[in-house]
Amino acid sequence: MSWFREHVGLDGFDLLIHAGVTAAFLGFVAVSNGPEELLPVTTGVSLLVLAVRRSFALRSRRLLGVSSGEMAAERFAGLELRVEELETAQARVAELEERLDFAERLLATRDAQLALPPAPAGNVEGR
pLDDT at residue 65, as a whole number: 59
- From CA 40, how far away is CA 101, in angstroms rounded? 77
Domain ranges of the chain: 1-65, 66-116
Alpha carbon 29 to its chain's center: 41
| CB distance 11 to 2 below 8 Å | yes
Q: Is the dihedral of CA 9, 13, 16, 17 positive or negative?
A: negative
| Length reported for the chain | 127
pLDDT at residue 96, as a whole number: 96
pLDDT tens digits for 84-104? 999 999 999 999 999 999 999
pLDDT at residue 90, as a whole number: 97
CA distances from 68 to 6, 59, 71 (A): 11, 13, 5
- From CA 98, how far away is CA 96, in angstroms rounded? 5
pLDDT at residue 61, as a whole number: 64
pLDDT at residue 16, as a whole number: 86
| pTM beyond cutoff 0.85 | no
pLDDT at residue 14, as a whole number: 82
pLDDT at residue 30, as a whole number: 85
Determine what percent of the chain is predicted with pLDDT higher than 90: 23
pLDDT at residue 124, as a whole number: 55
| CB distance 61 to 67 below 8 Å | yes
Question: Which positions ≥6 away from 10 have C-beta within 8 Å?
Answer: 18, 53, 54, 57
Report, as ranges of residue numbers, the positions in the chain whose pLDDT lies below 50.
127
The count of other CB atoms within 10 Å of the CB of residue 74 is 12
